[in-house]
Amino acid sequence: MDAIDVIRAKRDGHALTPEQIDWTIAAYTRGDIAEEQMSSLAMAVLLNGMTRDEVARWTEAMIASGERMDWSSLDRPTADKHSTGGVGDKITLPLAPLVAACGAAVPQLSGRGLGHTGGTLDKLESIPGWRASLSNAEMLDVIASTGAVICAAGTGLAPADRKLYALRDVTGTVESIPLIASSIMSKKIAEGTGALVLDVKVGSGAFMKNVADARELAGTMVGIGTDHGVRTVALLTAMDRPLGRAVGNAVEVAESVEVLAGGGPEDVVELTVLLAREMLAAAGVDGRDPADALRDGSAMDVWRRMISAQGGDPDAPLPVAREAHEVLAPASGVLTRLDAYGVGVAAWRLGAGRARKEDPVSAGAGVICHARPGDTVREGQPLLTLYADDAARFDRALAALEGAYEIREGGEPDLLPLLIDRIA
């Protein structure tokens, strides 16, 4: 095989053969294909796309570059969820223990935030003592004893994807749907789960800004999962406004605990229960309704055991930022718009997010939304409270919020429905 021949084939619009794909991924992982050559191939894929067979084989080759986890020793079926990321998207935190409380095991490998979208591991690390990095043996012990684990993926899982993801990030090829889909699915399939539910976000605060692109991505990923024997379903859900009221790290943990205690914002509860039902159905678990497990406290019991099993103290006070700043309503009327992207960038600038993977994050920084689109507000009423460890961060956060909200007399918000579509 020769890298130039593979690049030319895709450049000219041809489908790559299984042999070409297998060789390319293996050679790139070994370092036998130069970064500039892989950049050219990634751009050719972005411009010319891939067939379903190509995407399935590309994903399989990335899985084969590392280890594949095995949960067959567990006494219950496994189910996992992946979100494409958004603002205030803390759903994994209450969802994993909820599904475990209803009879499925949840091996949830999660990531960190970058830019305006938050990361599950950053949120959980605001809990004193909690550990994100576990060995495979430790993961199995936690999930066997509690029913769920949320942790970082090990370096042995799809190493080809880790290398290719970094390359796409600096070569303008992040938007390629075949490469996005294979990146997500290679890790999820290597994780070894038997069923997978995908939460594909749509809107200003999501990677996919419109329904058509989100539907294409969701369909591609469902096809990959199906082709690899994983029962897969995708939900398209709204991300044109923040999810819930809290955006940050510790503040989102606090809101997640509210949900587990039977309270919390209506949209967070609705989406958590909806995804839990999908995960249980995909795993073939026909038992109690997740809404009951929230009401009776059994999901909270699993949460406390899971946090404790990973070194965390579920009773410890969460970090609080040193400084706070209120954003007041400039007029009375109906809040018709609260832009997810603007709020997400504000939280990022307050210290809740990072610009580079190696940057630290502030556990206490973030935004609390006191009003949601559709709420009636009065002039001078607090709309948002910004939290930061350094008051000097407020100016840039406020700049991100300019034009991010709108109040009208007698207005009605034009919002996407929380559940836009289901693809299976």
Instruction: Tell me whether residue 66 is in a domain.
Output: no
With 0.85 as the threshold, say if the pTM is over it.
yes
Give the pLDDT score at 150. 97
| Pair (275, 246) in one structural domain | yes
Give the pLDDT score at 410. 84
Q: How many domains does the chain have?
A: 3
Instruction: Tell me whether residue 153 is in a domain.
Output: yes
Instruction: Tell me whether residue 278 is in a domain.
Output: yes
396 is catalytic: no
Give the pLDDT score at 125. 97
| Pair (286, 399) in one structural domain | no
CATH label of the domain that carries residue 364: 3.90.1170.30
How many of the other CB atoms lie within 10 Å of CB of 31?
9
Nearest of 208, 267, 240 to residue 341 by alpha carbon: 240
Give the pLDDT score at 124. 97
| Pair (356, 299) in one structural domain | no
Instruction: Tell me whether residue 224 is in a domain.
Output: yes
Nearest of 109, 133, 119 to residue 192 by alpha carbon: 109
pLDDT in tens, 141-181: 999 999 999 999 888 889 999 899 889 878 889 889 999 99
Count CA atoms closer than 13 A to 292's CA, side-chain side: 6
Boundary residue ending a domain (309, 335, 366): 309
Catalytic residue among 65, 183, 186, 256: 183
161 is catalytic: yes
Segments of the chain with pLDDT less than 70: none
Catalytic residue among 80, 161, 227, 240: 161
How many of the other CB atoms lie within 10 Å of CB of 169?
12
| Pair (263, 333) in one structural domain | no
Are the C-beta atoms of 335 and 373 separated by less than 8 Å? Answer: yes
CB neighbour list of residue 34: distance below 8 Å, 6 or more residues apart? 3
| Pair (389, 247) in one structural domain | no
| Pair (16, 103) in one structural domain | no
Instruction: Tell me whether residue 225 is in a domain.
Output: yes
- SS3 letters for the chain? CCHHHHHHHHHCCCCCCHHHHHHHHHHHHHCCCCHHHHHHHHHHHHHHCCCHHHHHHHHHHHHHCCCCCCCCCCCCCECEEEECCCCCCCCHHHHHHHHHHCCCEEEEEECCCECCECCHHHHHCCCCCCCCCCCHHHHHHHHHHHCEEEEECCCCCCHHHHHHHHHHHCCCCCCCHHHHHHHHHHHHHHCCCCEEEEEEEECCCCCECCHHHHHHHHHHHHHHHHHCCCEEEEEEEECCCCCCCEEECHHHHHHHHHHHCCCCCHHHHHHHHHHHHHHHHHHCCCCCCHHHHHHCCHHHHHHHHHHHHCCCCCCCCCCCCCEEEEEECCCCEEEEEECHHHHHHHHHHHHHCCCCCCCCCCCCCEEEECCCCCCEECCCCEEEEEEECCHHHHHHHHHHHCCCEEEECCCCCCCCCCEEEEEC
| Pair (333, 391) in one structural domain | yes
Give the pLDDT score at 115. 76
| Pair (122, 269) in one structural domain | yes
| Pair (28, 163) in one structural domain | no
pLDDT in tens, 113-133: 877 888 999 999 999 999 999
| Pair (171, 302) in one structural domain | yes
Catalytic residue among 116, 187, 228, 245: 187
Give the pLDDT score at 114. 74
| Pair (277, 357) in one structural domain | no
256 is catalytic: no
Give the pLDDT score at 118. 85
Count CA atoms closer than 13 A to 338's CA, side-chain side: 28
168 is catalytic: yes
Instruction: Tell me whether residue 318 is in a domain.
Output: no
Catalytic residue among 10, 82, 123, 393: 82
Domain hosting residue 217, numbered range:
80-309
227 is catalytic: no
Catalytic residue among 90, 123, 162, 168: 168
CATH label of the domain that carries residue 45: 1.20.970.10
